[in-house]
């Protein structure tokens, strides 16, 4: 469960989010929609505790923003998968090694790493590209690698910040279908996007971020 209770975030005296309270349950698919700069990315940063609220509390699993220590945050993030718009792949490592890296940092062993990486790549349809370098991939293939890396530790939730922002419409829809498949397997997803057309084509809970507040909405 992800819970935000009376959360306010201010930067340089300017309030970005104002007394936000919301919960995301396991297995939900939640879209965060709103204009650029409305606070969508800030909400996601709160959830993986890259940002601590000015006021209020964020609770993710057993981690509480009021008490979490810096050395605990890597363990929190192993319960979450994080997908960014700009991919953040290591350009000097192959597809296989980019995904495997997320396991090396947890101390996983060689045979287990190989089994889990190949399974993750098979799940997203990229086994045949495992030895390719990032600069040999299309944008959609790069995003699939990022998703595989985010899922490798079997997170409870996947947090995706504009995952289709750099992709063409057809590829964007393919990525959305992949995320939907992941969600049907039980992984909760919170996705920030400004692409309302994609949101209309998918079934999910929609939260609009506007003027520092968050509202449940239905798109027409």
Q: Please, what is the end-to-end C-alpha distance for the chain in angstroms?
A: 29
Residue after which a domain boundary falls, among 154, 169, 192: 154
Task: Measure Cα distances from 191 to 12, 31, 69, 207 in Å.
Answer: 27, 5, 26, 10
Whether residues 28 and 73 fall in one domain: yes
Select the more confidently predicted residue: 37 or 159.
159
Q: Please, are residues 42 and 9 in contact by the beta-carbon 8 Å criterion?
A: yes
Per DSSP, the three-state class of 77 is helix
- Other C-beta atoms lying within 10 Å of the C-beta of residue 220: 4
Q: Are 210 and 20 in contact (CB under 8 A)?
A: no
Q: Which domain holds residue 188?
A: 1-79+155-220
**pLDDT band at residue 37 using 50, 70 and 90 as cut-offs:** confident
Residue 111 and residue 176 in one domain: no
Residue 20 in contact with residue 62, Cβ under 8 Å?
Answer: no
Q: Are residues 55 and 129 in the same domain?
A: no
Q: What is the pLDDT of residues 102-117, one digit of tens each?
A: 888 777 888 899 999 9
- Mean pLDDT (whole number) for 3-26: 93
63-64 and 55-60: which strand pairing?
antiparallel
Last residue in a domain, options 123, 154, 185: 154
Same structural domain, 67 and 171: yes
| Beta-strand runs (E) in the chain | 2-11, 14-24, 29-33, 55-60, 63-64, 80-84, 157-161, 188-193, 205-210, 213-217
Phi, psi of 217 (to 5 degrees): -135, 165
Q: Is 73 in the same domain as 159? A: yes
39-66 pLDDT tens trace: 899 999 999 999 999 999 999 989 999 9
Q: What is the pLDDT of residues 114-155, one digit of tens each?
A: 999 999 999 888 999 999 999 999 999 998 999 999 989 889
Are residue 150 and residue 160 in the same domain, yes or no?
no
Predicted local distance difference test score (pLDDT) of residue 194: 85
Q: Which two tokens stand for residue 144?
A: 């699939």
In degrees rounded to 5, what are phi and psi of residue 100? -65, -30
Give the predicted TM-score (pTM) of the model. Answer: 0.90
Task: Express as a percent the part of the chain with pLDDT over 70.
Answer: 100
Whole-number percent of the chain with pLDDT over 90: 60
Between CA 42 and CA 64 the distance in angstroms is 17
The Cα–Cα gap between 196 and 192 comes to: 11
CATH of the domain at 58: 3.40.50.300
Count of the separate structural domains present in the chain = 2
Q: Which of 96, 129, 154 is the last residue of a domain?
A: 154
Mean pLDDT, to the nearest integer, of 180-205? 89
Give the contacts of 95 (CB within 8 A, at least 6 positions apart): 121, 126, 129, 130, 131, 132, 133, 134, 137, 145
Same domain, 28 and 43: yes
pLDDT of residue 220: 66
pLDDT band at 10; cut points 50, 70, 90: very high
Distance, in Å, from the CA atom of 62 to the CA atom of 73, rounded to the nearest integer, reads 11
- Which tokens sit at 10? 């201010």
- Spatial distance between the Cα atoms of 116 and 79, rounded to a whole number of angstroms: 16
| 15 and 64 together in one domain | yes
Cα–Cα dist 19/12, whole Å: 17
């Amino acid at each position: 469960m992800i819970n935000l209770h009376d959360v306010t975030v201010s930067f340089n005296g300017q309030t970005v989010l104002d007394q936000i309270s919301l919960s995301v349950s396991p297995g939900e698919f939640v879209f965060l929609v709103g204009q650029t700069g409305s606070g969508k990315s800030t909400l996601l940063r709160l959830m993986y505790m890259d940002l601590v609220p000015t006021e209020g509390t964020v609770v993710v699993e057993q981690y509480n923003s009021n008490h979490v220590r810096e050395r605990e945050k890597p363990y929190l993030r192993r319960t979450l998968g994080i997908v960014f718009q700009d991919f953040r792949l290591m350009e000097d490592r192959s597809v296989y090694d980019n995904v495997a890296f997320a396991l090396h940092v947890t101390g996983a062993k060689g045979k287990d790493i190989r089994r889990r990486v190949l399974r993750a790549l098979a799940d997203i349809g990229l086994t045949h590209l495992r030895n390719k370098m990032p600069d040999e991939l299309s944008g959609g293939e790069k995003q699939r690698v990022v998703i595989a890396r985010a899922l490798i530790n079997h997170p409870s939730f996947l947090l995706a910040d504009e995952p289709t922002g750099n992709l063409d419409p057809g590829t964007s829809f393919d990525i959305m279908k992949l995320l939907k498949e992941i969600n049907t397997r039980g992984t909760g997803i919170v996705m920030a996007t400004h692409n309302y057309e994609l949101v209309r084509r998918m079934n999910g809970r929609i939260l609009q971020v506007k003027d520092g507040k968050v509202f449940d909405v239905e798109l027409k």
